[in-house]
Amino acid sequence: MQPTYDVLIRHAEIVDGTGAARFDGDIGINGDRIARVGDLGGARGRQEIDARGLVAAPGFIDAHTHDDRVMLSAGDMLPKVSQGVTTVIGGNCGISLAPMPQPAPATITPPLDLLDSTGKWYRYARFGDYIQALQAQPAATNCAMLVGHSTLRVITMDDLSRPATAGEIAAMRGHVDEAMDSGAIGVSTGLAYAPAMAAPTEEIIDVCRPLASHGGLYCTHMRDEGDEIMASLEETFRIGRELGVPVVISHHKLAGVNNHGRSVQTLQRIREAMAQQPVCLDCYPYSASSTILTYKHAAGSSRTIVTWSRSLPQYAGRDLDDVVRDMGCSLEDAVARLLPAGAIYFRMDDADVQRILQFDDTMIGSDGLPHDEQPHPRLWGTFPRVLGHYGRGLGLFPLEKAVHKMSGLTAARFGLADRGVVREGAFADLAIFNAQTVDEAATFDKPIAPSIGIDTVLVNGAVVWRDGKASGLRPGRVLRRQAAA
């Protein structure tokens, strides 16, 4: 008898996520797993997908997101599935949606307001409550979640401008223990942000001590990504060494014109550290960053775009220089009037971006902000931009290398078992796309747009994107980390 699969993908050019050369073949899926890869010409599928002329690759894993809330508030995950993303890593930069004692405060401390400026979604007293909500109301994508150090400081301390006391550290450490027990994969820090700036290295180490016994990760938006970046790297490596855990350097960049070109120096130091301890890094493929609006960032950028403003929402999407002219005031006064607000900052050099992207161990993360009214285009365009602009266009790396950076490498570094590869027995998270046309459609002027060339996306064997639209299915799961033996 002819074998029958739940889903049969025929005539694909398979890029398997390991970095190995592509090959032609079919993919048979039963349930949530890939059952067979090869010549399945004699087989049948209850659902068949003709991938002739298309690439079938592992679904992309977004190594750095702020999707903590959107998975619950807009679980179709359109910005992600439309670009081939099947798994997101959330809770980055020290901010997570939980834990938050109830009732949540009326005013949310920046940058926690990047996830929710109203406080309505800060409704989970324990990290475990949040994980249960994600499991009870699945999104279209899988997720793996970090607990944020800044969130822990906000809920534990009465004064964020000082180091934590021994009692406060013990309380935060208790929250880390609970989060890890509940399914968190690690702790993130955002040491460049006000809630954590006063935290000394020793505080971070002490708060994060449960990571070692739980096999967790330390992921960090470092203290400085500009003039003092080398000192920040050393602090990061020290924290990883003293805890005995792997380190993830978030969205590695060189900010400010004085630091353009210094990626040669930072990457060399990262390479040296990798020989001594487990270290990895992610990067987004743009020379503009995005976060909360501050005068310091705006003053140091060649261009700033307002992404949202609670006090003056009419300025979302406008260049800050234009806003200053409209208001007839100084840059500093304009920023003060717009707050709380978010912004895009043009302050990196594309040569550094390219060098970091090309670095063998760099994973791809969007760092997208799904709740910005006029978001950075990286939210919708990161992964096709790597394949199109930087891969096919500039030739930074072959397709197999690009796919590896967005799938197999990320799954291995984050300990996501049986994800990020096309092989028999692996989970059926797949992106099917046209390698000749795949590219971003989102721009800084029109940042909300599905990508070009993404044909079909499957998560755990279920089609979540096809024919330019979401299927409505939400088969995503909360993934736990499987630490390396």
Q: What is the mean pLDDT of the chain?
A: 97
Pairing of strands 341-346, 247-249: unpaired
For 76-80, 167-171, 233-237, 481-485, which range has the lowest pLDDT when averaged over its residues? 481-485
Q: What is the pLDDT of residue 484?
A: 65
Q: What is the mean pLDDT of residues 399-417?
A: 98
Residue 309: strand pairing partners: 341
Q: What is the pLDDT of residue 378?
A: 98
Is the pLDDT reported for residue 289 higher than 60?
yes
What Å distances lie between residue 6 and 42, 45, 460, CA to CA?
15, 6, 12
Q: What is the mean pLDDT of residues 256-276?
A: 98
Q: What is the pLDDT of residue 2?
A: 82
Q: What is the mean pLDDT of residues 319-335?
A: 97
Distance from C-alpha of 458 to C-alpha of 385, rounded to nearest angstrom: 20
Q: Is 211 buried (19+), middle (13-18) or exposed (0-12) by CB count in 10 A?
A: buried
CA dihedral over 421, 278, 242, 219, signed as positive or negative: negative
Task: Say if CB 38 and CB 26 are below 8 A apart.
Answer: yes
Q: What is the pLDDT of residue 154?
A: 98
Is the pLDDT reported for residue 32 higher than 90?
yes
- Residue in the structure block whose two tokens are 């791809």: 364
249's tokens: 């350097």
Q: What is the mean pLDDT of residues 95-101?
A: 98
Binned at pLDDT 50, 70 and 90, residue 483 comes out as confident
- At 334-388, the pLDDT tens digits run 999 999 999 999 999 999 999 999 999 999 999 999 999 999 999 999 999 999 9
Q: What is the pLDDT of residue 305?
A: 98
- At 12-28, the pLDDT tens digits run 999 999 999 999 999 99
Q: What is the pLDDT of residue 106?
A: 87
Binned at pLDDT 50, 70 and 90, residue 436 comes out as very high
Residue 1 Cα to chain centre, angstroms: 45
Task: Say if CB 378 and CB 67 are below 8 A apart.
Answer: no
Q: Using alpha carbons only, what angle is made at residue 223 by residues 233 and 364, rounded to the nearest 5 degrees?
A: 65
Percentage of the chain modeled with pLDDT above 70: 99
Give a three-class secondary structure readout of the chain. CCCEEEEEEEEEEECCCCCCCCEEEEEEEECCEEEEEECCCCCEEEEEEECCCCEEEECEEECCCCCCCHHHHCCCCHHHHCCCEEEEEECCCCCCCCCCCCCCCCCCCCCHHHCCCCCCCCCCCCHHHHHHHHHHCCCCCEEEEEEEHHHHHHHHCCCCCCCCCHHHHHHHHHHHHHHHHHCCCEEEEECCCHHHHCCCHHHHHHHCCHHHHHCCEEEEECCCCCCCHHHHHHHHHHHHHHHCCCEEECCCCCCCHHHCCCHHHHHHHHHHHHCCCCEEEEECCCCEEEEECCHHHHHCCCEEEEEEECCCHHHCCCEHHHHHHHHCCCHHHHHHHHCCEEEEEECCCHHHHHHHHHCCCEEECCCCCCCCCCCCCHHHHHHHHHHHHHHHHCCCCCHHHHHHHCCHHHHHHHCCCCCCCCCCCCECCEEEECCCCCECCCCCCCCCCCCECEEEEEECCEEEEECCEECCCCCCCECCCCCCC
Binned at pLDDT 50, 70 and 90, residue 213 comes out as very high
Distance from C-alpha of 159 to C-alpha of 8, rounded to nearest angstrom: 58
Which of 288, 287, 271, 283 has its CA nearest to residue 237?
271
Q: What is the mean pLDDT of residues 193-207?
A: 98
Q: What is the mean pLDDT of residues 27-48?
A: 97
Q: What is the pLDDT of residue 412?
A: 98
Distance from C-alpha of 408 to C-alpha of 327, rounded to nearest angstrom: 49
Residue 302 identity: S
Is the pLDDT reported for residue 485 higher than 70?
no
